[in-house]
């Protein structure tokens, strides 16, 4: 593999399928659905495919088309990457409008919807109509975790060509960190293993000591839950860490966005006609504030969800070690094998299963708008170790 396909890690069958579609336009499909677990590279594969479709050489990675697609500046590529909790009908209607346009410089008008599982019912219906009656030069690429009806409507799935990605092998992720990012081989191997094959998280763990410390703090929790006070303290720590991450991510961004909007509206300026031009600015600023709050909620939820996935992983490791101690089965957290063995000894297979179910129930509760503090306190109490 070479060119844009170098970005698609550990997915040779997927790359071969997409390359074949690029090479034979008569076999092209107007609607594609990329599925796979988090970190498998769904959106990366979609962007590489989009670049290859626009490239006269099938994705060489060096031409103007490839470079602008990968940089996010190509005029015929539209990417919807939801910052908020959902993709609403308004965004979907905009997509339908864009889909009806002819390509201005490329061969295709391409629309990529990341996290298509976040589409509301109205948005999904609009997208369904768009792919039922597609313009001849438009390609729609949807990215979702799975084919489950909770992630993507059955009617949409049935009208798409499905491309299933898998979690990349740890060795493939480590190789990319060394070759592309210049990470020390030992750190790359550890990061790849600790991330469970999640390419983005492996890169973050390799580059950011704060991310490594956050993961350690989460994985220290299970063996610390020896009392009610310890459970409540752990819940406070998890919620506090998520809030801190949210504040760090949004403070500077929110201020810059607000200042830019005020400048564009002429807020605070003086002169003839300025008052009339800036009339209605309060409504636009309020809408921006609403979007920023929704984005902050999403960042906080994503932070908590990473912690919950890590917790589920270590209880899964405890279950594996309890059920098949002599088998060389892969662990989610190989660097915490001793902790998983101690958990296996203290809670057994049934206790590990109950705790995994509690973690999964907590994920659902948070997505259903249960207050994070309440959800996390209920979880940590459920994870408490037996006396």
CA–CA gap between residue 212 and residue 204 (Å, rounded) = 8
Rg (CA), the chain: 23
Task: Give the Å distances, CA to CA, from 344 to 225, 237, 355.
Answer: 15, 24, 12
Beta bridge partners of 144: 35
Q: Is the pLDDT assigned to residue 142 strictly greater than 60? A: yes
CB atoms within 10 A of CB 8: 23
CA–CA gap between residue 372 and residue 358 (Å, rounded) = 14
CA–CA gap between residue 235 and residue 201 (Å, rounded) = 23
What average pLDDT score do residues 347-368 get? 95
Residues 214/204, Cβ–Cβ less than 8 Å: no
Residues in contact with 184: Cβ distance below 8 Å, sequence separation at least 6, in sequence order: 178
Query: How do the domains of the chain map onto residue ranges?
Result: 3-164, 169-207, 228-267+284-382
pLDDT digits (tens, 9 = 90+) for 182-191: 999 999 999 9
Q: Is the pLDDT assigned to residue 381 strictly greater than 70? A: yes
Mean pLDDT of the chain: 89
CA–CA gap between residue 227 and residue 175 (Å, rounded) = 43
What average pLDDT score do residues 18-38 get? 88
Which CATH topology does 3-164 take? Answer: Rossmann fold (3.40.50)
pLDDT digits (tens, 9 = 90+) for 297-322: 888 888 899 999 999 999 999 999 99
Secondary structure E strands in the chain: 31-35, 77-80, 109-113, 138-144, 161-164
Please state which architecture CATH assigns to domain 228-267+284-382. Answer: Up-down Bundle (1.20)
């Amino acid at each position: 593999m070479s060119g844009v396909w170098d970005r698609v890690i550990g997915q040779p069958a997927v790359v071969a399928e997409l390359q074949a579609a690029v090479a034979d336009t008569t076999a092209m499909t107007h609607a594609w659905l990329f599925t796979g677990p988090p970190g498998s590279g769904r959106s990366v594969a979609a962007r590489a495919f989009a670049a290859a479709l626009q490239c006269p050489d099938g994705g060489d990675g060096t031409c103007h088309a490839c470079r602008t697609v990968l940089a996010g500046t190509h005029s015929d590529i539209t990417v919807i990457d939801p910052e908020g909790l959902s993709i609403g009908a308004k965004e979907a209607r905009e997509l339908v409008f864009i889909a009806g346009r002819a390509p201005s410089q490329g061969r295709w008008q391409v629309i990529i919807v990341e996290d298509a599982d976040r589409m509301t019912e109205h948005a999904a219906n609009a997208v369904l109509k768009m792919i039922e009656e597609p313009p001849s030069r438009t390609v729609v690429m949807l990215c979702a975790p799975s084919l489950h009806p909770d992630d993507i409507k059955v009617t949409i799935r049935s009208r798409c060509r499905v491309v299933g990605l898998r979690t990349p092998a740890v060795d493939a992720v480590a190789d990319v960190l060394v070759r592309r990012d210049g990470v020390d081989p030992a750190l790359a191997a550890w990061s790849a293993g600790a991330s469970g094959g999640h390419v983005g998280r492996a890169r973050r763990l390799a580059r950011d000591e704060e991310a490594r410390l956050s993961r350690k703090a989460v994985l220290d929790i299970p063996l610390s839950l020896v009392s009610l006070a310890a459970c409540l303290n752990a819940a406070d720590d998890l919620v506090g860490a998520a809030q801190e991450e949210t504040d760090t991510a949004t403070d500077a961004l929110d201020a810059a966005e607000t200042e830019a909007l005020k400048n564009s509206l002429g807020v605070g300026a003086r002169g003839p006609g300025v008052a009339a031009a800036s009339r209605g600015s309060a409504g636009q600023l309020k809408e921006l504030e609403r979007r920023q709050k929704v984005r902050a909620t999403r960042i906080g939820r994503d932070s908590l969800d990473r912690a919950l996935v890590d917790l589920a992983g270590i209880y899964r490791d405890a279950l594996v070690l309890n059920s098949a101690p002599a088998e060389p089965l892969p662990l989610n957290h190989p660097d915490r094998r001793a902790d998983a063995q101690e958990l296996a000894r203290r809670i057994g297979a049934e206790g590990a299963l109950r705790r995994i179910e509690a973690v999964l129930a907590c994920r659902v509760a948070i997505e259903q708008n249960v207050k994070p503090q309440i959800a996390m306190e209920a979880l940590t109490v459920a994870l408490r170790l037996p006396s």
